Structure 1
Amino acid sequence: MNNLDIGSRVQNRRKEQKITLKELSERTGLSTGFLSQFERGMTSIAIDSLQNIAKILGMDMDSFFNIPKKSSYDAEPIIRSYDRKVGSVNKKYVQFYLAKDLENAKFLPRLYELWPSSENDHLKTYVHEGVEFIYVLEGILTLNYKNKVYEMYPEDTAYLDSKTPHNWENNTNKKVRILVIHYPNPFIQNDANTRTDEHEK
């Protein structure tokens, strides 16, 4: 499912519950402008932020991504490269899920392919729950962590406290590929109120 489909579902559910963009903004900590763009499919959204919105609107995360129920999986633990599920696509990157049973996995492994950057905007950092591991597979990744900028090269790794302001992007003219592992898995529903700033890579 693409960004437009996800945003449209959120918008329809929000209107059904007679919740204004301003009210949703206040409850999520996301700006009304960002939420409006998201609902119209003009920007992507962090999984953690989407999870928070889903909780508020009483929606299931798997309804956004057509995740099969656990009983539908066979015994094979392997996902072939040609069978990867696409998590999101936007003008900056495409994201692939690297695990089958996303709603029960302890951690969330993802592959990001970042397009060459065509913008010179200041990279906005964000925070969310948990910790994050990054492994650079191809290209040069620009990482902003604790307000310090790093360049990461193939086979470089980073372990981040996700509650510390951070973000990353591709500032080169070539594709960048990275493996990102997030713990705990944001697909797993819990009682904690996850607060995540806007995720705009």
Structure 2
Amino acid sequence: MDEFRAEVKELQIGPQIRKLRQDRRLTLQDLSAETELSKPLLSQIENEQVIPPLATLLRIAKALKVPLQTFFEEEDNNQKCLVVRAGDSNLINRRPQQGGTPQPYLYHSLAYGKKHKHMEPFLVEFDPKQTVSSQAVQHAGEEFLYVLEGCIELTHGGEIYVLNAGDSVYWDSNEPHSLKALGNEIAHGIAVLYTRN
């Protein structure tokens, strides 16, 4: 748990959300209404008790009118080329358990620290035991997913696509979409998000 808390503080997602919300003179109730997320959940996120999944973070980013990559940038980092080394502990973005129930997936940014990105690459791990509640989201932009291992189901605009290791998919994020693992094995994939506000 101490290691997890250190990683949460490294990302500073909660304080960034609070500052952006306050800069825009929004209350937690205002943000709740814009995102359709509960006030208690938003408060937990701002207080670094919960790291939001990508879908939730996208909803918050949209409501705050900032690109998703805002939460993965470093203020003074304007590198033209960013190399991410294997095992870089700053990259891990783990989701804690809520009420004792493991959350649907884990992810970490593959370009953490790069400022002014136009896309955001992630390594995503889908747990088939925890993705039954995966909710559809939609936002401006496009997404790409390459399946490294396991089996993943993408629901997009009413169509269902089953993806196995080696498969890839590129989709319009304006359409409602959701992802979940199928079978009994944990699935891994590389996801690239391009969002427009």
Match of 2:114 in 1: 102
Greater shift after overlay, 99-108 or 147-156?
99-108
Counterpart in 1 of 2:127? Answer: 115
Q: Which residue of 1 aligns with 2:13?
A: 6
User: Using the alignment, how far apart are the partners of 1:119 and 1:45 within structure 2?
Assistant: 12
* Separation of aligned partners in 1, 2:111 and 2:132: 34
Question: Normalising to structure 2: TM-score of the pair?
Answer: 0.69
2:59 aligns with 49
Q: Is the 8 A contact 2:132 2:180 kept in 1?
A: no
Match of 1:157, as an amino acid? S
The higher-RCO structure (CA 8 Å, 6+ apart) is 1
Q: Following the alignment from structure 1 to structure 2, what is the Cα–Cα distance between the partners of residues 158 and 117?
A: 23
Q: CA offsets per residue over residues 11-37 of structure 1, 9 Å max, x none?
A: 5875798743322223x3333355355
Inter-partner Cα distance in structure 2 for 1:106 and 1:151 = 28
Provide the residue aligned with 1:172 in structure 2.
183
Correspondence list, 1:123-162, <5 A: 123-162=134-173
Structure 1 residue 145 displacement after superposition: 1.0
Identity fraction in percent: 24
Relative to structure 1, the CA distance from residue 18 to residue 119 in structure 2 (aligned partners, 3 Å threshold; closer, same or farther) is same
RMSD: 3.5
Q: Cα deviation per residue 1:11-66 (whole Å; 9 max; x = unaligned)?
A: 5875798743322223x33333553554463461434334345559xxxx75x557
Residues 19 and 182 of structure 1: CA distance in aligned 2, closer, same or farther (over 3 Å): closer
Q: Report the equivalent of 1:81.
A: 86
Indicate conservation of the 8 Å contact 2:35/2:63, yes or no.
no
Unpaired runs of 5+ residues, structure 1, are 187-193, 195-201
Q: What TM-score, normalized to structure 1?
A: 0.68
Instruction: Report the Cα offset of residue 67 of structure 1.
Output: 2.2
Per the alignment, in what secondary structure is the counterpart of residue 174 of structure 2? coil
Unaligned runs of 5+ in 2: 1-6, 96-102
Q: What is the number of residues matched between the two proteins?
A: 177
> For residues 99 and 16 of structure 1, what CA distance do their matches in structure 2 show?
26
Q: Does the aligned pair in 2 maintain the 1:84–1:98 contact within 8 Å? A: no
2:104 maps to what in 1?
Answer: 92
State yes or no: 1:32 paired with 2:43: no
Describe the SS at the equivalent of 2:171. Answer: strand
**Per the alignment, do residues 160 and 21 of structure 1 end up closer, same or farther by CA in structure 2, a change over 3 Å counting?**
same
Further displaced range: 103-112 or 133-142: 103-112
Alpha carbons 1:84, 1:96 under 8 Å: kept: no
Change (3 A) 1:17 1:179: closer
Kindly state the Cα deviation for residue 79 of structure 1 after the two structures are TM-superposed. Answer: 1.8
Q: Deviations over 1:89-135 (max 9, x none)?
A: 222222122225532223221111222324643x3210011111111
